[in-house]
Amino acid sequence: MGILMVIALAVFTGSVTAAEAGTAARSAGPGGGRAAVADGRPFWAAASADRGPADPGTRLAARVYLAGRDARGLAAFDAAVSDPHSPSYQRYLTPAQYQARFGPTQAQIGSVTSWLKSAGLTVTGMNQHYVSVHGSVAQAEKAFGTAIDYYTDHSAGNAVHYAPAGRITVPGALSASVLGVTGLDNGSHLAHPASMGAATGPLRGVSARHAGSPAQPDDTLPGPAPVILRAAPCSAYYGQNPATGEPATYGHTGVWTNCGYTPQQMRSAYGVSSGPAGAGQTVAIVDAYASPTIASDVQTFASHHGIAGFRPGQFTQNLPSGWNSVSACGGSAWYYEESLDVTAVHDIAPDANVVYAAAASCQDTDLSDALNRIVDGRLATIVSNSWNDDLESHTSEAVRSVYDQVFLQGAAEGIGFYFSSGDCGEDDPHTGCPVYADGPGTEWPPSDPHVTAVGGTTLEVGANGSQVWQTGWGDVASALTPDGTGWTPAPGTGYPATFEAGAGGGTSALYGQPSYQAGVVPASLSETLPDGSTTTTPMRVVPDVAADADNNTGILVGQTQTYLDGSTRYHETRWGGTSLACPVFAALQALAQQTLGRPLGFANPALYARYGTYALQDVTDSPLGPGTLLGVVRNDYTNVSDPTSPVTTRVITFGDDGLLHATTGYDDVTGVGAPSTDYVDSYDAAGKGIRSKQPNAIASR
C-alpha cells in the first residue's frame, strides 16, 4: 500500500474583493505574466479589519523560500521510502544526494536573486532554502504584486499591523522556483512551548522573570527561570499516600497526586528496564534559546537518581550565531521545556546521543532554521518538538509550506519528526485554556500529515513499577468546599469551566486523509470538522499515538532555577504535558531503531501497521468501566514560586478532554494508542512489520 498523502490546501479562486481591487494602483504585479505562490496573508488580515495603505517607506525584511526541483518526484520518493511494503523502503538519501536530486539549482537561485534585485530590494543572504531581502513597503509591493495595508489584529489585543492585502505573486517564469514569501507582515509569528499551551496548566502564575528583576536586552539570554514549587503531600507511586484527611473522592478515600516519576519508574512502565537503551541512536531536540545550566543539571539529576549521566560527547548543543526576540518569546520560560525534553529522552534511552538544536528565538523563521540545520547536516534521525505554532487556521499557507518542505527533506533522508499535539484539547475557547482561539480546532505543526503527532495519556504506575491503569489525558478540577467537607463542583463535572488541560487533537480542516490513516480512523472523526460541519472528503485526524502526559503523572525534572530572594539553586519538580509525551515517544523510537538496526524515518506508516496488535495499548477514558471515575487529590501554591503563599486543595478527575474522547479503537486523544510494554520488541530485524498480529492483552480487556 502506498502512502502518497493528499493534502487539501486553500485554493486561490481568482475572485477579487473590493479591498483587493483597490490595491492595483499601488502594486506593480498586474495581469498576465505573474503567478500566485503559497498564500502569505495572516488570518487576521481580513477585509473587515483593513485600515488602509501602509506607510510606503516602512522598512521590512522578507524571505523568499525556494521550491527546489521535482516536487512530484519528491512526494513519490518519500511515499516509497516510508512504506514498509515498498521495495524502496528505508533506502534513504544523504543530504548531498537530496540536494542534488531535489534541491534548487544554482540557476534557480540566481534567477530569483536577479529578479529581487531588479525590483529594488537588497539581497542580504541566501542558501539552499531561501533568499533574504530588505526593502521598503513600496519596493515589496512592486516585487510581490500586492498592496500592503494596515489591519486591526484582533489576535494581538487589536494592535495595528501591516500585511499583504492580496495574494503574493511572482513572475510566471519563476513560479516553479518560489515556494512562498514570509516577512511581509509584522504581526506575531511566535511559537510557544507545549507546556505553556494550557493557561491553567503547569506554568500558571509564572512569568519569564521575577517582578523587579532587571530587564534583559532582547538579544541576551536571561539567567535561570523562576522556581516552580509543588505543594506537599504527594505519592511516590499510585496509592502510596492516601488522602485520609480530605473528603472522600468517588465514594472512597482519595490518593495524593504523584511526586514525579523517576527514570527507573518510566523505563519499567514502558517495559524497557532491560534490553536496548538507545546505543548508536541520536535524538535531536528543538526548542528556542538554551538554558545555561542544562549540561550540569542533567548530570546532577543523574547522580541523584542512580543512573548514568551523559558520557563525554553524548550530549551536544547546536546553537545559532545569536539570539533575538527574547522578551516577546518569554525568554527563560523555554528553559523548562528544554530541561523536560532532555531529561525525558535520557530517562527512556540513556545510551542515546542527544543533540539540542536551539532556535535563535520562537519566531517561525528561527525555528525552521533550526530544523533545517538538522536535515542539512543529518544531525539526528529522530527529532522531538514540544512546541507548536497555533491553530492550523491561524498559520499562513506560506509558513506551513516552509516547514512542510523540511519534513519532506527529512523523510527522504530517514529523519522522523515528532510533535506534541498540544495541551488544550481541541482548543475550545470556552475553557480559557488556549493562548488564543476563536473556535475549536487542531494545532499546527501536529496536523501536518508528514509528522508524527504525539497525544497524551494519564499513566498511573504502581509500587512494582508496572502500569496500574491508563486513561486518555484530560483533567477537570473540583475545589475543596469552604467548610472542608466536600468538593465543588461534584468531581468529574463542570466542563468547560473546570477544565485544566488535556491532550490536543481533532480533525484538520486543511489536510486530506493520508493513506496510512485510511481504514483505521473512523469516518465519524475524519469527516467531521472542528466547527461541527461534515465533509464527504476524509481529512487528517490528530494525534497519531500517545504517551504519558498528565502533569499529575509526570516525571521529575532537575533544573537550576531562580528563587524569590534572587538566589539560584538546583531544584527538582514534576513536569508533564504532551511536552513530556513527545520526547518519551521519541526516546522509545530510538530503542526501536536500535532493535531494528536502521532508522525508521517517517514513522507513521510503520506505526499504523501496528494498530490493533500487541505493540500498542488501546487507551480509553474509562479503563475500569463506564461510570467509574478516576483521579487524585492535589495541593498547589497560589503562587508557584512562593512556598508561603496559600495552598489550594483540589480533586483532579481524569479522562475528560472536553470535546475530544478516548474511546475503543483509534480516537482523537490517543491516536492508535500508547506504546505497550512490547512496543520496542515489535520491530524485527527484517524491518517488514511486526513479528505477529496477536492483539495486545491489555488492549483487548
Tell me, yes or no, whether 666 lies in a domain. yes
Looking at the structure, tell me whether residues 309 and 401 fall in a common domain: yes
Nearest to 571, CA basis, from 321, 326, 323, 336: 336
pLDDT in tens, 99-117: 999 999 999 999 999 999 9
Q: Which residue has the higher pLDDT, 29 or 169?
A: 169
Tell me, yes or no, whether 127 lies in a domain. yes
Task: List 388's β-bridge partners, or say none.
Answer: 192
Report the half-sphere exposure of 138 (CA within 13 A, side-chain side).
Answer: 4
- Which secondary-structure segment (H or E) carries 79? helix 71-81
**Residue 189: predicted pLDDT:** 87
Which residues form the domain of 436? 225-609+616-681
**Residue 195: predicted pLDDT:** 65
Where residue 438 falls among pLDDT bands split at 50, 70, 90?
confident
For residue 668 the three cell numbers come to 482523537
Spatial CB neighbours of 506, under 8 Å, sequence gap ≥ 6 = 426, 427, 440, 441, 442, 530, 541, 542, 659, 660, 668
**pTM score of the predicted model:** 0.93
Q: Which residue has the higher pLDDT, 512 or 199?
A: 512
Residue 334 to residue 19: CA distance in whole angstroms = 40
Whether residue 517 has pLDDT greater than 50: yes
Looking at the structure, tell me whether residues 468 and 358 fall in a common domain: yes
pLDDT in tens, 356-375: 999 999 999 999 999 999 99
Looking at the structure, tell me whether residues 172 and 230 fall in a common domain: no
The count of other CB atoms within 10 Å of the CB of residue 156 is 13
**Residue 28: predicted pLDDT:** 41
Q: What is the DSSP string of 482-501?
A: TTSSSEES-TT--TTTTEEE
Q: What 3-state class would DSSP assign to 327?
A: helix
- Amino acid letter, 602: F
Tell me, yes or no, whether 78 lies in a domain. no
Where residue 551 falls among pLDDT bands split at 50, 70, 90?
very high
Looking at the structure, tell me whether residues 248 and 180 fall in a common domain: no
Average pLDDT over residues 395-401: 96
For residue 344 the three cell numbers come to 525525558
Tell me, yes or no, whether 303 lies in a domain. yes
pLDDT in tens, 213-229: 345 678 999 999 999 99
Q: Which residue has the higher pLDDT, 686 or 618?
A: 618
Report yes or no: 408 and 450 within 8 Å, Cβ to Cβ: yes
Average pLDDT over residues 401-410: 98
**Residue 216: predicted pLDDT:** 61
Tell me, yes or no, whether 423 lies in a domain. yes
Looking at the structure, tell me whether residues 250 and 379 fall in a common domain: yes
Average pLDDT, the chain: 91
Provide the domain count of the chain: 2
pLDDT in tens, 643-670: 999 999 999 999 999 999 999 999 999 9
Whether residue 151 has pLDDT greater than 60: yes
- In this structure, of 185-199, 577-591, 608-622, the range with the lowest mean pLDDT score is 185-199
**Domain's final residue, options 164, 188, 212:** 188
Looking at the structure, tell me whether residues 242 and 155 fall in a common domain: no
Where residue 389 falls among pLDDT bands split at 50, 70, 90?
confident
Looking at the structure, tell me whether residues 155 and 263 fall in a common domain: no
**Domain's final residue, options 163, 188, 213:** 188
**Residue 29: predicted pLDDT:** 43
What is the domain-level CATH number for residue 498?
3.40.50.200
Looking at the structure, tell me whether residues 181 and 237 fall in a common domain: no
pLDDT in tens, 31-87: 459 999 999 999 999 999 999 999 999 999 999 999 999 999 999 999 999 999 999
Residue 70 to residue 89: CA distance in whole angstroms = 20
Whether residue 429 has pLDDT greater than 60: yes
Give counts: helices (H), strands (E), the chain. Answer: 14, 32
Whether residue 17 has pLDDT greater than 60: no
Whether residue 419 has pLDDT greater than 50: yes
Average pLDDT over residues 401-430: 97
**Domain's final residue, options 138, 167, 188:** 188
**Residue 435: predicted pLDDT:** 66
DSSP-assigned letter for residue 33: T
Tell me, yes or no, whether 700 lies in a domain. no
Looking at the structure, tell me whether residues 372 and 465 fall in a common domain: yes
**Residue 215: predicted pLDDT:** 53
Residue 617 to residue 675: CA distance in whole angstroms = 6
Residue 635 to residue 100: CA distance in whole angstroms = 58
Tell me, yes or no, whether 627 lies in a domain. yes
**Residue 558: predicted pLDDT:** 98
Tell me, yes or no, whether 5 lies in a domain. no
Looking at the structure, tell me whether residues 174 and 232 fall in a common domain: no
**Residue 194: predicted pLDDT:** 78
Looking at the structure, tell me whether residues 39 and 170 fall in a common domain: yes
Whether residue 383 has pLDDT greater than 50: yes
- In this structure, of 13-17, 296-300, 376-380, 678-682, the range with the lowest mean pLDDT score is 13-17
Dihedrals φ, ψ of 170, to 5°? Answer: -135, 165
**Residue 167: predicted pLDDT:** 96
Percent of the chain with pLDDT over 70: 90
> What's the length of the chain?
701
Q: Could you tell me the maximum CA-CA distance found in the chain, to the nearest angstrom?
A: 77
Nearest to 250, CA basis, from 663, 621, 627: 627
Looking at the structure, tell me whether residues 454 and 565 fall in a common domain: yes
